[in-house]
Amino acid sequence: MISLKLTAKAVKSYGLLLITLFFCAGSFAQQGRQTVDFDKGWRFNLGDVPHAENPATSDTKWRSLSLPHDWSVEGKFSKDNPATPEGGALPGGIGWYRKTFTVPASSKGKLVYIDFDGVYQKSDVWVNGHHLGFRPNGYISFRYELTPYLNFGGNNVIAVKVDNSVQPNSRWYSGSGIYRNVWLVTTSKVAINHWGTYVTTTDVSEASAKVNLKVQVKNASASSSVTVKTTLYDAAGKVIAAGGAIPSKDQLKDTVFETEATLTVKNPQLWSVDKPYLYKAVTQVLSGKTVIDTYTTPVGIRYFNFDVDKGFSLNGKAMKILGVCDHHDLGSLGAAINIRALERQLQILKAMGCNGIRTSHNPPAPELLDLCDKMGFIVMDEAFDTWEWAKAKYDYHLFFKEWHKRDLEDQILRDRNHPSVMIWSIGNEIGQQSDTSALRIAPQLTAIVHSLDKTRPITSANNNPDKNNKIIASGAIDLVGYNYHEGEYAGFHDRYPGKKFIATETTSGLETRGYYEMPSDSIRVWPESWDKPFVREGNNVSAYDNVRPPWGATHEMTWKVMKKYDFLSGMFIWTGFDYLGEPTPYSWPSRSSYFGIVDLAGFPKDVYYMYQSEWTNKDVLHIFPHWNWTPGKMIDIWAYYNNADEVELFLNDKSLGIKKKTGDDLHIMWRVKYEPGTLKAVSRKNGKVVLTRLIHTAGEPAKIELSADRKLIKAGGKDMSFITVRILDKDGNVVPDADNLVNFKINGEAFIASVDNGDPVSHDSFKVSYRKAFHGLALAIVQTKEKAGSITFTATSKGLQNASLVLTSK
């Protein structure tokens, strides 16, 4: 246990962050502090309402809903929506949210705050008619104090105006509304400040770690003396560290004071991507013997380094960051945050061998960082997509000068204690990277970050990383970030002697899941130039990993270079998942991307298995494409494999030969004349069979198969089950060209939150109870209601055998 007395001692600078703490979001009560999930019981109106901030204005005819909420994803796709297909082709507008709530009379004399994790965008907030503030940034978290304006023991009205009407303001799908969680926080008048803990360590090893703990305490009472105690627990709940006290001193009202102390943790369990071990720190503020505030903070202990020649190491072990970039939307759920949907995405990526996430191109939901802490991902936490120059007409450049300092400070304070966060990024493909203004702005942003955290390197994602780049020339960044330009990796040290490298964005390979064109061994560059429209019937892209945009590369091209050089510390592929908006190489009627290794519905594309064969030790043998073609057509059969010397391919039990990877090959290929039947691939090592894979010619669609990722889910209105819908022939084979319309019905304590199929060209709403299959697959997302109980989900389609499954919410 650490016993600390408040002092006004100045904050000292510390070195590399080796142990970190973060605030654990949740709905809970602790001694002196209560944090309440404030998502339920809101009313919403799409469209402006005069005087809606006035509590006397009636909202009885408004829609009732729970947060998080994204109104754009509920709208209709149209090329005429101001967001344009680049922004997802969905509507924006103005929306109002209101909630009537009570704060008990017993809370009088305490401090009450409302915390918003994110509102897109330009939000104004009122309580009981009093304007609390305006925040233009749609991705930043913020807090307002409600205390002076509350009716304790009576009704209160919170009103939020969200203005996403002026578009385009984003280069991808933004969503609209209060799309992240909201919390009501009540504390004593002396309490730990917002985002008020910070930990750095020195001398970390497997034997011990020295922990330097800082805690900021806000005093809104009369002059007082308090004690701050922190107890560090291991994952089993055992106390594992204790420390000494600092002399006491009376503190003045309306000030923020900081405590600090050092303790030693013996034989620490180090946080890593394979074993993301988390401790728990419980900090208490006491007045005499009375606990007046409690603040719980999970803890991760680790150390890392970026080396000029050797690249990245974690806890002294060399490794590459094998990362992906992802936008913040959750496919058919839109921008509305859901922890289970995020967790599912990370589980899919983890199974591929991914160990890194770049938050492209904005601060993420705090829940993403919580999950990365728990699941073992290295995070590049990014602040801005633009500085003072525009990319979209109405984007953040309009607010950068006035708001960048506040927004960046809030991001660093909120996120600096996550063990998963190891890189700060101050910008993505900033237009001013070629302008002398970057010599001014980059150091300013770096100074803001360093004022709050000196423990992580800073980078900027540069799409023009040559000697004319003024961000790099400013000397402000610790890691030189390259977007693309994989052909220039090898000469990095010639260009930037003594500098450290990170591939901030790579690849941009293009694929449509389940669609194939021959021949597969030639590279297509679509579009010819980024500013030239590209039109092609069907808006499909072959899934052979042989199509790229002019600035990018195929997945194999980039990975071959990345794995070759130790000094290349890691990569973040564009992108892990398809996302709404930016439908390169096409525009309308496409409305979502083709970049993902995984499609919008969460179904892996074939290249997923190339990474799995390279990034994991699990046995992999993946052959494709499907085996339904016109007789006599020449078909290219690819195989990704590992842990084997060779693969032999058979067609209807006749050997088509043995293939082996040679040189830097990442796949093998046979060119086969199609005839119906069965393809069989067998991988062998030292003559022994490792894996066997079969692909059968599928017959006509005959039945539906349903499979849920989880059949037991939590009641309470937020948990989800993701149900995969497969169209099968009579023998149980997925029909690769099936596009049957499937209708869904649900009974019990759940509802259908959204539906999808991964088709980037579909204009059907996500918020309906039906979906066409796309290359034989579709998805239904089921969300629990408040009560526990049995849930029956049924799928029907004309001419097909129906299917149903039973879920349970507890």
- Active site amino acids: 429, 505
Compute and round to an integer the Cα radius of gyration of the chain: 27
- Please tell me whether residue 55 adopts helix, strand or coil conformation: coil
Is the Cβ–Cβ distance between 290 and 14 less than 8 Å?
no
- Please tell me whether residue 42 adopts helix, strand or coil conformation: strand
Q: Are strands 668-673 and 123-127 parallel, antiparallel or unpaired?
A: unpaired
Residue 222: is it exposed, middle or buried by C-beta count within 10 angstroms (0-12/13-18/19+)?
Answer: exposed
- Sign of torsion over alpha carbons 51, 53, 57, 61: positive
Is the Cβ–Cβ distance between 596 and 94 less than 8 Å?
no
Rounded to whole angstroms, the Cα distance separating 168 from 514 reads 32
Q: Which residues, 6 or more positions from 198, have their beta carbon under 8 angstroms from its beta carbon?
A: 21, 213, 214, 215, 216, 416, 417
Is the Cβ–Cβ distance between 540 and 344 less than 8 Å?
no
| DSSP secondary structure string for all residues of 737-800 | T---EEEEEEEESEEEEEEE---TT--S-SSSSEEE-BTTEEEEEEEE-SS-EEEEEEEE-TTS
- Distances, alpha carbon 479 to alpha carbons 308, 380, 386, in Å: 10, 12, 19
- Distances, alpha carbon 43 to alpha carbons 62, 94, 155, in Å: 6, 14, 15
Q: What six digits make up the tokens of 787?
A: 């009560």
Quickly tell me which residue has 């199974």 as its tokens. 351
Which of 166, 183, 189 lies closest to 38, judged by CA? 183
Q: Which residues, 6 or more positions from 543, have their beta carbon under 8 angstroms from its beta carbon?
A: 511, 512, 513, 514, 515, 516, 605, 606, 607, 624, 625
Quickly tell me which residue has 């002399």 as its tokens. 247
In the chain, how many H helices and how many E strands? 8, 49
Angle (CA) 99-105-109 rounded to 5° is 105
Strands, DSSP E only, in 509-584? 524-525, 547-548, 568-574
